[in-house]
Structure 1
Amino acid sequence: MNNKEYKNIEDTHITISELMLPSHANFSGKIHGGYILKLMDQIAFACASKHSGTYCVTASVDTVNFINPIEVGKLVTMKASINYVGKTSMVIGIRVEAQNIQTGETKHCNSSYFTMVAKNDNGENARVPGIIINSQNEMRRFLEAIHRIKMKKNRQEKFDIDNFKPENHLDELRNYNVKINL
C-alpha cells in the first residue's frame, strides 16, 4: 500500500454539539438514552464515511455505558474518532459530554464503540484506507479495539448453540440468583 491508502486519524475526527430540549426527555425528565444512541449512530456514520469515502452501515455497537444522566438544557457534545480499521470495517470511538452552558461545567456521560462497514455503490463491502498512528493514545485505542474484537469472538465461540454444554457451567451459576430447572 502507498501513503494515499492510509489516513491520519485526526483528519477524520468529527465533533457535533446539540442543545438538549424537553422533547428529547424520557418519563423521568432526563434525556432519553435512545435519543443519545441515535445521535451517536449519526456521528459514527459521519466519521466512518469521512475516513472511507463511502457509504457506511452500522454492524455493531459495543460497550454502551451511560455514566451520567443528561439534563434538559445541557449542551451535548459528541466526539468521534477512528480507533481501528480492518479491511472493510472500522471501529469508531465516541465520547459524549454534557455541558451546563451557563457555568461551563462539563461531565462525561457516555463512551461507546461502533463498528461500521464501508459499502460500495452495489451494496458490497468496500475496502477502507488504513490509519497512520501518530501518538501513544492512538496506539492504545487501536490495541484496545483489537482486544475487544478478540474477546467478542471468544465469547461467541464459547456460547455458540452447537458447542454449548450446560453441564460445563452449573458450578459457575451456583453463586448467582438463579434456579436451574433443566
Structure 2
Amino acid sequence: HYALERDIEFAVIDGARRFGSESLIPLGPLREPISRLEEVDFLVNNGGKARGREFSMSLLPSPAVNLKTGQKRSVAELQKLVAFAGIGHPPRFFKTLEDLDGDVVFTQGFADHQDFDKDELHALANKGMNLIMTEKDAVKCEEYAQDNWWYLPVSAQFDEDSQQQILKRIKEVMEYYGSPST
C-alpha cells in the first residue's frame, strides 16, 4: 500500500513458480512489475533455491489450532479434513497438509484475499469431519467458526546469516528513529 511509509521492504518470491507469466494482475500473478524488485531491501525466496541477492526461506508448520478453543493437535490426528485456502497458490497449502500426513478428503481453493461467505464455508465443512484453513484465512472466519474448524500456523525459517542481515537492517532503522537497539 503506497500510502504507508516504508522503512524496510521485503518482496517474497514464490520459489517454485517464480514470477509466472511476468504479467500484472489480472493477466498474471504480479501485483507490481518485476523492475520494482530493484527498490526493495530484501528479496525472499519462499520454498525454492535462492538466486542472486535472494534469501532462502521456508515455512515451518506448527500443530493445527482450533478456532474456537485454541486446542492444538497434529494435522495427522485430525480425521476427514476438508481444506480450503484463499492465498496466492492454494495447492501449496494442500501439499503441506499432505506432507503432514493429513487425512484430506476435499480441497477448495479461493482467490487471494477473498472475503468468505459463511454459509458457503459451513456447507464446505459438511464434506468431512474437520475443516482446516490457513492462519491468514482463519482471521476472517473467527466470528462464525464451528467447533471442528482448525487453522495451520506456519513460521518463516531463514538461515543464520540471512537472519543476522535482516536484524542488522532493523536495528539500523530503529537507531535512525532513536529507538534503543536490542
Question: TM-score category by the smaller chain?
Answer: under 0.3
Hey, which of these two has a bigger chunk of strand by percent? Answer: 1
Structure whose CA Rg is larger: 1
Higher relative contact order (CA 8 A, sep 6+): 1
Q: If the length of structure 2 is used for normalisation, what is the TM-score?
A: 0.25
Provide the TM-score with structure 1 as the length reference.
Answer: 0.25
